[in-house]
Structure formats: structure tokens, C-alpha cells
Structure 1
């Protein structure tokens, strides 16, 4: 039986694997603070990369690196085995760069994705938001995505087809799965928030413009009187 090659590609074949990345953040109870917690840290959070519905992804992912904010000690955190996650505490929101390395048999370069750490609930009316903060509800922010292996090496093809479930790329990105509907709702929420912010900015700009036009008109009227 011929050996399986780490360099020869399987032509005309694409295999994708779905995965989920994101974070969960929980407000710290001031009456039950963990020992050695910095006084300005308000939340505990975990950022992670994992399979959909808990599926194993370690047979094709070698390691995952999380680039935290530079204010953290050792901001580059690397997980060589599952769970691919980092837990920390803090007070601010920031972008986390996630870099995924594949097993050597893949012959693939690492891929990066970006996640904005979310600590606070933003969607809902004031009463709902106040209640969520008062109850210290966890804030979840996860995204569904797909890793696509176009013409994988023979060795990677064997790994992907002999472990887990191999699927062809979907026409519409985001086939139904864990977190998919939630992610879609979160994206809609973000869009609605963005639309509202834009509307508020437009209204403020209009008010400023009207005020300036009024001031110009008053100055013009004063000059005409003279």
C-alpha cells in the first residue's frame, strides 16, 4: 500500500470544518472577590476556540495562540492542547487576535481571526440592561465560522475523513449549528446598535448645523442693522 503523502494534494476536493470562537464574561461579585484580584478588575472572562456542539478539533488543530492587550503579563498565550482557551480578569474591552495552527500533515499556513472581548450587555431597554447588570448575568459573545481546506494534502485528507465528520463547503456560510442563531441575533443587535448610534450622531450634527446657521443669521442681521 503506497504511503500517504504530506505534500501531494488531493485535487478537486474541498473539506470544511465548522468551529466557534468567542468569549464569556461574568461580573465579579464585590462581596466575593477572588484572592489577589486587582482592585480595578470588574470581570472574569474566558476566550476560547472550540468545535461546534463540543466536537473534537484537536486532530487537525495543533495549537491556538491568543494575543491579549499589552497591559497583561505575557500577552501572547498559547494553548498546545484542548481546551483551547484563556481565562483572565480585567475591567476593559479590547480586540483579541486569535491565531490557529494546523497539524504538520496539513501543509497549511496558520490562520487568524479577531474577537472583540465583550464585558457588558448593550442590547435592550434601560430596565433590562440594569437588571442584567444587577443580576451579574454572564455576557456571551461567540461567532460561528468555517475552516476550509482546499485540495488538502493526502495526509490531511486522511485525518479529516477518518476523524470527526467531513463536509463540503456550504453555499451559504453559517449552516445551522450551535451558536449559529445566537450569532446571527448578536450580529443583528450590533447592526441595530450601530444604526442607532449613526442616527444619534446625525441628529447631533443637524442640531450643531442649525445652531451655527442661526448664529450666522444673527450676525448677518446685526451687520445689516449697522
Structure 2
């Protein structure tokens, strides 16, 4: 069995994490943001889904391509972006789940990873008032890609920039785990409110049905 090359050997007991943000920004169609030429007339928003570094660093040193799987109603719903910026811009009227697959450079020895993002076009929660003024909606999540026992080549790529092994921290950044938890809390509160309204309407419908049956009798 031939020996492994120095670039493909894995470094034992080492893990490196890289911060990443992914999500979408959307803008309501208006006089200042008109519907692009050729877009369906019933589309209400322009939007962009993306994968990026929270500090604006170039991801292409280790990411080969990002594939975005849109709703099947879109032309060519599987969009493969092979150079930065890793993003897709579109128009639409409805929200749906977008599958985001990240492929690493072939010689890095890493398997592709998958994220799932729910496209957000309509505001809710504390951002609603500001969004109603500007027509802009953001749904951006912070995460970390963890490379366990990377190859020597991958290790060199991931550590090429000074300070790259330090934990990501930015007091001024809104792309944090805390922001993600707050977003999840807002979603859970919204779901709870929807459940309460459904329960209330169910009671009202039962009362109306009972009244209908009484009148028929």
C-alpha cells in the first residue's frame, strides 16, 4: 500500500471550526424596488439567499461550490454557484424551505454538508415595525463548520490567515448564537399564538355547529 502524501494525511486530535452565516434578505416590491423585467406579475418581493463569512473573508479557499435547491416551481430550481459570492437572487410571493449544500475543494478530503433555511419574506416579532417602514426583511443565521482531523492541506488552508484559530467573536456583530436563539424564541412564540387561535376558532366552530343543529331541530 503506497504511503499517503503529506497533503492527504490527517492531523490527529485536531478540530478547527470556521464561522459562517447563511440565510436570506428580502425587499418588498415598491416604487423604489420595482419588479424586475420578466418576473411574474404576482411576485411581491425580491430576495437573495446566500452563504458567507461573517467578517467578509473569502470562502473559496476551501469551499468549491454551494448548491441552492429552490422550490420546484422555479425555473432551474437547483442552482450551483461555483465562485463567490455564493448567493442566488430571485423574486417571489411565498415562503418555502431552501436546501443549501456546501461542497469543499476536491483535494481537501472533506464531505459536503447540508443546511436548511426557511425563506422569510414577511416580518414578525420585534422587527415588524421597522420592516413595515422599509419593506426589508432579514433572516440570517450564524453557525460554525467543524473540521475534525483535517488533512494537512486543509489545515494549511484553514490556518493561512493570522488569528484564524482564535474563536470568532465580534461584539458588534448581530450574527451570533444569541441572535439565533432569539430568532427561534420568536418563532416558537408565534407558533404558540397560532395554536391558541386555532383552539379558539375550534371552540367557536363547535358552538356554531351546535346552534345550527338546534335551529334545524
- Determine helix, strand or coil for the equivalent of 2:75: coil
Question: Which residue of the partner structure matches residue 104 of structure 2?
Answer: 102
- Determine helix, strand or coil for the equivalent of 1:15: strand
Q: In 1, distance between residues paired with 2:174 and 2:87?
A: 18
Count of residues in correspondence between the two structures: 207
Tell me if structure 1 keeps the 8 A contact 2:10–2:150. Answer: yes
Name the CA shift for 1:54/1:164 in 2 (closer, same or farther; >3 Å).
farther
- Determine helix, strand or coil for the equivalent of 2:66: strand
Normalised to the residue count of structure 1, the TM-score between the two structures is 0.79
The answer to which of 151-160 and 4-13 deviates more is: 4-13
Aligned pairs (5 A) from 1:202-221 = 202-205=199-202, 211=207
User: 1:103: how far off?
Assistant: 1.3
Normalised to the residue count of structure 2, the TM-score between the two structures is 0.82
Question: Which residue of the partner structure matches residue 51 of structure 2?
Answer: 49
| 1:161-206 Cα distance to aligned partner (Å, 9 max, x none) | 1136433779xxx996542144333222112112222333344455
Question: Which residue of the partner structure matches residue 190 of structure 1?
Answer: 187
Name the CA shift for 1:168/1:4 in 2 (closer, same or farther; >3 Å).
farther
Question: Which residue of the partner structure matches residue 158 of structure 1?
Answer: 156
Question: Which residue of the partner structure matches residue 83 of structure 1?
Answer: 85
In structure 1, the gaps of 5 or more residues are: none
User: 1:37: how far off?
Assistant: 2.6
Aligned pairs (5 A) from 1:99-138 = 99-124=101-126, 132-133=131-132, 135-138=133-136
- Determine helix, strand or coil for the equivalent of 2:192: helix
User: 1:84: how far off?
Assistant: 0.3
User: 1:102: how far off?
Assistant: 0.7
Q: In 2, distance between residues paired with 1:50 and 1:178?
A: 14
Structure 2 residue 196 is matched with structure 1 residue 199: yes
Q: In 1, distance between residues paired with 2:51 and 2:74?
A: 20
| 1:84-118 Cα distance to aligned partner (Å, 9 max, x none) | 00000111111100000011232111000000101
TM-align CA RMSD: 3.0
Tell me if structure 2 keeps the 8 A contact 1:144–1:179. Answer: yes
| 1:47-92 Cα distance to aligned partner (Å, 9 max, x none) | 0000012122221111100001111111111111110000001111
Q: In 2, distance between residues paired with 1:153 and 1:50?
A: 23
The answer to which of 116-125 and 18-27 deviates more is: 116-125
Tell me if structure 2 keeps the 8 A contact 1:18–1:145. Answer: yes
